[in-house]
A and B are shown apart, each in its own frame.
Chain A
Amino acid sequence: MPSISRDEVAHLAKLARLAVSEDELDLFAGQLDVILQSVASVGDIATADIPPTSHAVPLTNVFREDVVRPSLGQQQALSGAPEAEDGRFRVPRILGEEA
């Protein structure tokens, strides 16, 4: 099983949107390596003929009648927003990120 490098951990952090510090990279690289080496043993018994289980209870799509029911109002939905404006969520700029 390949070990996980510091650079790979930095890439994972970027994918997961975690601005981890240099110190954390050192710590996590070691820990993630130990954890991944340990959990890799699932491969020992997971042979090709075994079907995967994603969910303990077999369920198919659940349908319900399309009826209007009470739900959160605009004010309630915005009540926990870090910033709101004109009844909307206010977010930092989303364009020109690569500039």
Chain B
Amino acid sequence: MTNDLIHATAAELAAKIHSGEVSSVEVTQAHLDRITETDGKVHAFLHVDTEGALAQARRVDEAVKAGEQVSPLAGVPLALKDVMATECVPTTVGSKILEGWIPPYDATVTRKLKEAGVVILGKTNMDEFAMGSSTENSAYGPTHNPWDLDRIPGGSGGGSSAALAALQAPLAIGTDTGGSIRQPGAVTGTVGVKPTYGGVSRYGLVAFSSSLDQAGPCARTVLDAALLHEVIAGYDHMDSTSINAPVPPVVAAAREGLNGDLSGLRIGVVTQFSGEGYQQGVARSFEAAVSQLKELGAEIADVSCPSFDYALPAYYLIAPSECSSNLARFDAMRYGLRVGDDGTRSTEEVMSLTREAGFGPEVKRRIMIGTYALSSGYYDAYYGSAQKVRTLITQDFAKAFENFDVLISPTTPTTAFKIGERANDPMAMYKADLCTIPANLAGTPAMSVPSGLSDEDGMPVGLQIMAPALQDHRMYRVAAAYEAARGAFGGPSL
């Protein structure tokens, strides 16, 4: 029974809970037990909220018993990335600077999950301030990939994706600034979606790079991701960059995709994302996916987006620049860590000592890169040029979408690398985000859906699908059709 519950999809669990076949408390307890059994090895969670999860589960069970209409995912457990503020539950962002901080309010995403009856199991591990591609930059130790515990689960949202792969939760929330939902999804064999920028509120999401940060759903199936997408998306007056437009019909699109017909759909293969630096097993998995999409009726052709070659350098100027500004709020005065306040030191000295003690090396590197890129004399050459590249990338997307409904590429050039392998080489680490960054710079939606396992190392590979802004449903349709054609590819043994 327990085994069935942890293997079930969110859609299946919701149906069973709402029909009274099982209780949300049973489902929640099964997942809490699974966390207890496996998280010593995986370390997906930074905080498990047993009491809060069971209380929410009981509320849903009572509502079901009373015959009340409950929302589509009510009673289903979820793992929440520790970047989202949760009232009365610790929120660390993977950083020592917020160790022990208990937010006095909920992020909009948190609030929407609670209102929809979703059961929040706890907070998941992440690279500090979402800066990283391996979850090794967490101040609380790395998360391990359930497929091979010696390998990284991707990042920054490695905890959320690892929790899905380890059957600790059927649903999770991530945030994606340069690929932090999609790349962990790819390397753990799970689905990860970055919605259109502005589609999901950033209120209460601890800011890294505000013009790029976007929260989104993570799941083991495309339909589950779509169901979660509709719970968290929508206009929010608390976020001035929130888009005031209807939520794209992603659930209907995922269901439509399951009929397996993509006749007439035009798919562009981005030629920039292949060749040197791409692992053979990843390339072969991608070729197989292209063949399957053709069999489903899609018309597939190559498309060149030359400016995408400059997306990585542009990103590693824009994101650090925004982070150097955003992280100025960690000043040791209003919340979080304070170090060195011995009565003799000034505010500025305490601030510098606290930030030195509270931030890890990658965060410091990015703050300094951003400080440099924004300083007078260098602004035009660095930040100014990066903003122009952003324009070119947006234009390349627009041109490509004149001829294609969606674009595809591998999600990431390699499968999960070994823990420690790239830890001392920032540029090598940054390359994990090569294919995912353009969509962040353009604000367009993109997702990763598993394309099976690499024949070289048996590790999961991801297929990235990109769509124009507010056309999120297009990629869900393609992903659902592909997922059904691809079939099952097994799971990790823990």
Task: Give the B-binding residues of A (Cβ under 8 A).
Answer: 4, 8-9, 12-21, 24, 27-28, 31-32, 34-36, 38-47, 50-57, 59, 62, 64, 72, 76-77, 79-83, 89, 91-94, 96-97
Contact of B337 among A15, A76, A82, A96 (CB under 8 A): A82
Q: For residue A17, which residues in chain B have a CB less than 8 angstroms away from its CB?
A: 331, 348, 351-352, 355
Q: For residue B382, which residues in chain A have a CB less than 8 angstroms away from its CB?
A: 36, 39-40, 42
B104 and A76 contacting across the interface, CB-CB below 8 Å:
yes
Flag whether B180 is at the interface (Cβ < 8 A): no
A28 and B355 contacting across the interface, CB-CB below 8 Å:
no
A74 to chain B minimum Cβ distance, whole angstroms, is 11
A57 and B384 contacting across the interface, CB-CB below 8 Å:
no
Known: A81-B335, A92-B345. 8 other contacts (CB 8 A): A16-B367, A32-B369, A42-B389, A72-B104, A72-B105, A82-B333, A82-B335, A96-B346
Flag whether B381 is at the interface (Cβ < 8 A): yes
Flag whether B359 is at the interface (Cβ < 8 A): yes
A43-B364 in contact given A53-B394, A79-B104 (Cβ < 8 Å): no
Flag whether B469 is at the interface (Cβ < 8 A): yes
B357 to chain A minimum Cβ distance, whole angstroms, is 8
* Binary contact track B225-251/A, C-beta < 8 Å → 1, others 0: 000000000000100110100000000
Flag whether B473 is at the interface (Cβ < 8 A): no
- Please report the C-alpha to C-alpha distance between residue A55 and residue B356 in the assembled complex, in whole angstroms: 30
Q: Which listed segment binds A: B58-66, B112-120, B308-316, B447-455? A: B308-316
Contact of B241 among A19, A57, A77, A83 (CB under 8 A): A57
B426 and A35 contacting across the interface, CB-CB below 8 Å:
yes
B110 to chain A minimum Cβ distance, whole angstroms, is 15
- Please report the C-alpha to C-alpha distance between residue A38 and residue B346 in the assembled complex, in whole angstroms: 38
Flag whether B70 is at the interface (Cβ < 8 A): no
B356 and A19 contacting across the interface, CB-CB below 8 Å:
yes
Contact of A46 among B103, B105, B385, B444 (CB under 8 A): B385
Contact of B368 among A13, A51, A59, A81 (CB under 8 A): A13
* CB contact list, B361-390 vs A, under 8 A: 361, 364-365, 367-369, 371-372, 375, 381-382, 384-390
Q: For residue A55, which residues in chain B have a CB less than 8 angstroms away from its CB?
A: 211, 241, 443
Q: For residue B356, which residues in chain A have a CB less than 8 angstroms away from its CB?
A: 18-21
A43 and B394 contacting across the interface, CB-CB below 8 Å:
no
By secondary structure, the B interface counts as helix
Return 26 A-B CB contacts under 8 Å, by A number. A16-B324, A18-B364, A19-B355, A28-B365, A32-B365, A35-B426, A36-B382, A40-B382, A42-B317, A42-B385, A46-B384, A46-B388, A47-B388, A53-B390, A53-B394, A56-B444, A72-B104, A76-B104, A80-B101, A80-B104, A82-B335, A82-B338, A83-B338, A89-B334, A92-B341, A93-B347
A50 to chain B minimum Cβ distance, whole angstroms, is 4
A29 to chain B minimum Cβ distance, whole angstroms, is 10
B427 and A34 contacting across the interface, CB-CB below 8 Å:
yes
* Binary contact track B383-421/A, C-beta < 8 Å → 1, others 0: 011111111101000000000000000000000000000
B443 and A56 contacting across the interface, CB-CB below 8 Å:
yes
Flag whether B350 is at the interface (Cβ < 8 A): yes
B102 and A80 contacting across the interface, CB-CB below 8 Å:
yes
B313 and A41 contacting across the interface, CB-CB below 8 Å:
yes
* Binary contact track B311-336/A, C-beta < 8 Å → 1, others 0: 00110110000001000000111111
Query: Which residue on chain A has the smallest CB distance to residue B313?
Result: A39
A84 to chain B minimum Cβ distance, whole angstroms, is 10
Q: In the complex, how many residues of chain B place their beta carbon closer than 8 angstroms to a beta carbon of chain A?
A: 69
B347 and A91 contacting across the interface, CB-CB below 8 Å:
yes
A51-B388 in contact given A28-B365, A36-B372, A91-B333 (Cβ < 8 Å): yes
Q: For residue B389, which residues in chain A have a CB less than 8 angstroms away from its CB?
A: 42, 45-46
* Binary contact track B254-266/A, C-beta < 8 Å → 1, others 0: 0000000000000
Pick the most buried of A15, A16, A59: most chain B CB atoms within 10 A of its CB: A16
Flag whether B197 is at the interface (Cβ < 8 A): yes
B211 to chain A minimum Cβ distance, whole angstroms, is 5
B175 to chain A minimum Cβ distance, whole angstroms, is 16
Q: For residue B442, which residues in chain A have a CB less than 8 angstroms away from its CB?
A: 56
A3 to chain B minimum Cβ distance, whole angstroms, is 12
Flag whether B441 is at the interface (Cβ < 8 A): yes
Q: For residue B240, which residues in chain A have a CB less than 8 angstroms away from its CB?
A: 59, 62
A77 and B104 contacting across the interface, CB-CB below 8 Å:
yes
B340 to chain A minimum Cβ distance, whole angstroms, is 9
Flag whether B280 is at the interface (Cβ < 8 A): no
Flag whether B271 is at the interface (Cβ < 8 A): no
Flag whether B353 is at the interface (Cβ < 8 A): yes
B179 to chain A minimum Cβ distance, whole angstroms, is 15
- Please report the C-alpha to C-alpha distance between residue A81 and residue B332 in the assembled complex, in whole angstroms: 8
Flag whether B279 is at the interface (Cβ < 8 A): no
B24 to chain A minimum Cβ distance, whole angstroms, is 29
- Please report the C-alpha to C-alpha distance between residue A37 and residue B336 in the assembled complex, in whole angstroms: 35
Q: For residue A8, which residues in chain B have a CB less than 8 angstroms away from its CB?
A: 372
Flag whether B304 is at the interface (Cβ < 8 A): no
Q: For residue B364, which residues in chain A have a CB less than 8 angstroms away from its CB?
A: 13, 16, 18, 20, 24, 28
- Please report the C-alpha to C-alpha distance between residue A47 and residue B306 in the assembled complex, in whole angstroms: 15
